[in-house]
Amino acid sequence: MADIIQLLPDNIANQIAAGEVIQRPASAVKELLENAVDAGATQIQLIVTDAGKSLVQVIDNGKGMSETDARMSFERHATSKIRAIDDLFRIATMGFRGEALASIAAVAQVELRTRKPQEELGTCIDIENGIVTKQQPCACPAGTNICMKNLFFNVPARRNFLKSNTAELRHIMDEFIRVAMAFPHIFFSLTSNGQQVFYLEAGSHKQRILQILGAQYSTKLVSVKEQTDYMNIYGFVGKPDAARKTRGDQFFFVNNRFIRSAYLNHAVSSAFEDLIPKDCFPLYVLYIDLDPGQIDINVHPTKQEIKFEDEKIVYAFVQSAVKHALAQFSIAPSLDFSLNADIQQLEAVSKPFTENEQQTASSSSLYKTFTQKHQAHVIEPNEKSELRHWKEFFTAAKTEEIPEQNQVIQHTSFDKQPALPKPVYQLNNTYIIAVADKDLILVHQQLAHERVLYEQLSTAIHGKQAATQKSLFPVTLQLSPADAILLEDLLPDLQVIGYTIEPFGRDSFVVQGTPADVQQGNEKQVIELLLEQFKHFTSDIKFSKREKLVRCMARQQAIKAGKTLSQQEMEMVIAQLFACETPNLTPGGNPTYIELREEYIDRLFVK
């Protein structure tokens, strides 16, 4: 019987190895940027076309390579950073696998131009499908210029698995941000399809954080700095009011390498206990320096997960450092004499005071007691006193309006609803208790309203377009580059469900209109929270972009647990819930209500 085990050809072996290292354009970006940092560059440019599918180019002014080194760098297991096995456990540089360039060359067309500063001529190398097609001297600037073109051109199946250009560009920006934030003393720029996305001048850690996250955080950062013989920690955490509803801007760097660590994240979150709501996540950018021999960075192919020799010490140290920083920041309330932007959006400030409203107000005795002399002490007889109707002074103009939350749910059809169960009660400002016949129904107000909104929005986005109300005072949004790219991609779908948003220069947008059933005045917060939820939408099931958008909006606009509801609002929620196609579950599969049947209740009391 013939032998069947054979050695793979080099080109196939390289493509298999490339699959571990280069999963998408962002993987190549990470490796190339880290190589540029290790080369001692002070200026690094990243240029991408078609979200890296057509081109990923990194240009640096580092130390460059000799002709021999340039050729050897594309061989598998070739590295300048490891000489002995012990070096694996004391790695202080960034890229070190010795397979990155070989992997890139196996699945793309690569052009390398490099020159050492002390040499007059550099080296040009072209590689396709892992094979060198050209190698010759050339004139080029000192440093290295490497182009990766047509990723996965020879592995069409892998190319087909790539996401949309918007999604792939977001992954590239994530990798770019992580490297740029770790090395603020280096100039970085990112250009996509000829448009400059980032231009980051060299500076301090705080300057780099503000360059990337936005200048709005300039007064919301608390400095963290602790030093011991075992490890040092420095960086910034956000003040409690900078916390978000989603796990957004959170960065850990260990020896300048970005890592993911649920364990250390818990250490930071525990330091914020009782300072922020339980459903919010703190902002932090923290740098940890410790002996490379105390960590193992070889536990994950992307090196984003590491193992600490003594993780309990690190946990305690991070928690203590953050607590100490927050203690130094005064959490006591202070007087702020500037008018909050949210207050400016309230109807009492933003809506015009019509002539009829002015006459009604000025003719009341309540108005006179504040505006005329010697009237403050006057109290009219009970029968004639307008003070009996003092509430009308504030509410007369709103007698026909629907309560705030009902503005969202007012237009659902009641054709197929069951008879309204009455009476209804609210428990802990979270649950609605209703009696239907002899059974008891316990409704979670937030989850129930989420189901109602989900079906309304699904109808709009998959068919009938939602109504839009034009904004009297259009709101301008200034977003981070990553959020701007995401919002631009979502604009057509947002328009279907009632938003009219137009680009307004670099990373800026103008909100011209909102859905008719959404309260105006907080458009900025609504859009920013929607983007946060969309970015961090997690599920084991693959959803379309529109489905993610609908689920995020339903979750965001739903009546929140903890809100006091009127009798009318509670009845409206229940009526609309049981008019849904699937009233018993949220889009995510959580129950919206629990039904306690008479027989079950009886059994609780009868043994």
Task: Evaluate whether residue 605 is within a structural domain.
Answer: no
DSSP letters for 360-407: HHHTSHHHHHHHSTT-TT----TTT-GGGGHHHHHHGGGTTPPPTTHH
Assigned domain for 48 exists: yes
Please tell me whether residues 460 and 589 are part of one structural domain: yes
Taking the CA atoms of residue 320, residue 326, residue 328 and residue 334 in that order, the dihedral angle to the nearest 10 degrees is: -160
Point out the domain boundary residue: 373, 398, 423.
Answer: 398
Q: Which helix (H) or strand (E) covers residue 553, if one does? A: helix 545-557
- Higher-pLDDT residue of 132, 295: 132
Q: CB-based contacts of 94: which residues, under 8 Å, 6+ apart?
A: 34, 35, 37, 38, 179, 256, 257
- How high is the mean pLDDT of the chain? 79
Which among 13-22, 344-353, 447-456 has the top mean pLDDT?
447-456
- Between 408 and 410, whose confidence is greater? 408
Taking the model in full, what pTM does it have?
A: 0.70
Q: Would residue 334 count as lying in a domain?
A: no
Higher pLDDT, 498 or 398: 498
Q: Is residue 436 domain-resident?
A: yes
Asked if residue 310 and residue 216 are part of one domain, the reply reads: yes
- Identify the band that residue 355 occupies on the pLDDT scale cut at 50, 70 and 90: low
- Strands 143-149, 131-138: pairing kind: unpaired
pLDDT at 389 over 60: no
Could you count the other beta carbons within 10 Å of the beta carbon of residue 93? 17
Q: Which of 469 and 520 is assigned the larger pLDDT?
A: 469
pLDDT of residue 600: 86
pLDDT at residue 104 tops 60: yes
Instruction: Compare 56 and 299 and report the one with higher pLDDT.
Output: 56
Residue 420 has pLDDT above 70, yes or no: no
* 122 neighbors 137 (Cβ within 8 angstroms): yes
Q: How confident is the model at residue 207 (pLDDT cuts 50, 70, 90)?
A: very high
**197 & 233 share domain:** no
477, 532 in Cβ contact below 8 A? no
Question: Residue 535: CB partners within 8 Å, gap ≥ 6?
Answer: 170, 246, 248, 483, 486
Same-domain check for residues 220 and 186: no
> For 453-479, how does the pLDDT look when each residue is reduced to its tens digit (9 = 90+)?
999 888 877 766 677 888 778 888 888
Mean pLDDT over residues 384-413, rounded?
41
Which is higher by pLDDT, 555 or 233?
233
The gap from C-alpha 589 to its chain's centroid, in whole angstroms, comes to 23
Give every CB contact of residue 274 below 8 A, 6+ residues apart in sequence.
none
The tens digit of pLDDT for each residue in 272-288 reads 988 888 878 899 999 99
The confidence score (pLDDT) of residue 417 equals: 45
Same domain, 27 and 144: yes
* pLDDT over 60 (residue 394): no
Whether 546 and 454 share a structural domain:
yes
Cβ count within 10 A of residue 83: 8
Residue 543: predicted pLDDT = 77
Least confident interval from 202-216, 280-294, 333-347, 516-530? 333-347
State whether 308 and 365 are in the same domain: no
Say if residue 140 is exposed, middle or buried (CB neighbours under 10 Å; 0-12, 13-18, 19+): middle
Domain harbouring 528, CATH code: 3.30.1370.100
| Residue among 537, 553, 349 nearest 454 (CA) | 553
Domain count, the chain: 4
Of 143, 176, 203, the position where a domain reaches its end is: 203
Decide if pLDDT at 311 tops 80. Answer: yes
Claim to verify: residue 293 and residue 370 sit in the same structural domain = no
pLDDT band at 143 (very low <50, low <70, confident <90, very high): very high
Higher-confidence position of 172 and 242: 172
Note whether 133 and 126 are within 8 A (CB): yes
For tokens 């700095």, the residue is 225
Q: Would the pLDDT of 540 be above 60?
A: no
Closest of 146, 148, 150 to residue 70, by C-alpha: 146
Range in 60-69, 155-164, 520-529 with the lowest mean pLDDT: 520-529
At 372, is the pLDDT very low, low, confident or very high (cuts 50, 70, 90)?
low
- Residue 564 located in a structural domain: yes
3-state secondary structure of 289: strand
Cβ pair 94, 110 in contact under 8 A: no
CA–CA distances in Å: residue 517 to residues 405, 415, 456: 9, 20, 11
Whether 18 and 155 share a structural domain: yes
pLDDT tops 60 at residue 182: yes
Q: What average pLDDT does range 228-233 have in this prediction?
A: 90
Domain CATH number, residue 86: 3.30.565.10
Inter-CA distances, 282 with 212, 387, 472, Å? 17, 48, 34
pLDDT digits (tens, 9 = 90+) for 572-594: 999 999 899 999 999 888 999 99
Whether 337 is in a domain gets the answer: no
Is residue 604 one of the residues assigned to a domain?
no
Domain boundary among 299, 328, 357: 328
- In this structure, the answer to whether residues 187 and 314 fall within a common structural domain is no
* The pLDDT of residue 413: 35
Domain for residue 298, yes or no?
yes
Strand 131-138 with 109-115, pairing: unpaired
Cβ–Cβ < 8 Å for 525, 371: no
Q: Are the C-beta atoms of residues 70 and 113 closer than 8 Å to each other?
A: no
Nearest-angstrom CA–CA distance, 190 and 176:
8
243-252, 318-327, 357-366: the lowest-pLDDT one: 357-366
Q: Is the pLDDT of residue 1 over 80?
A: no
CA distance 48 to 448: 45
Confidence of residue 60 (pLDDT cuts 50, 70, 90): very high
Task: Based on the fold, state whether residues 199 and 273 are members of the same structural domain.
Answer: no
| pLDDT for residue 415 is more than 80 | no
Domain range spanning residue 371? 344-398
Task: Give yes or no: residues 137 and 226 share one domain.
Answer: no
pLDDT value of position 201:
95
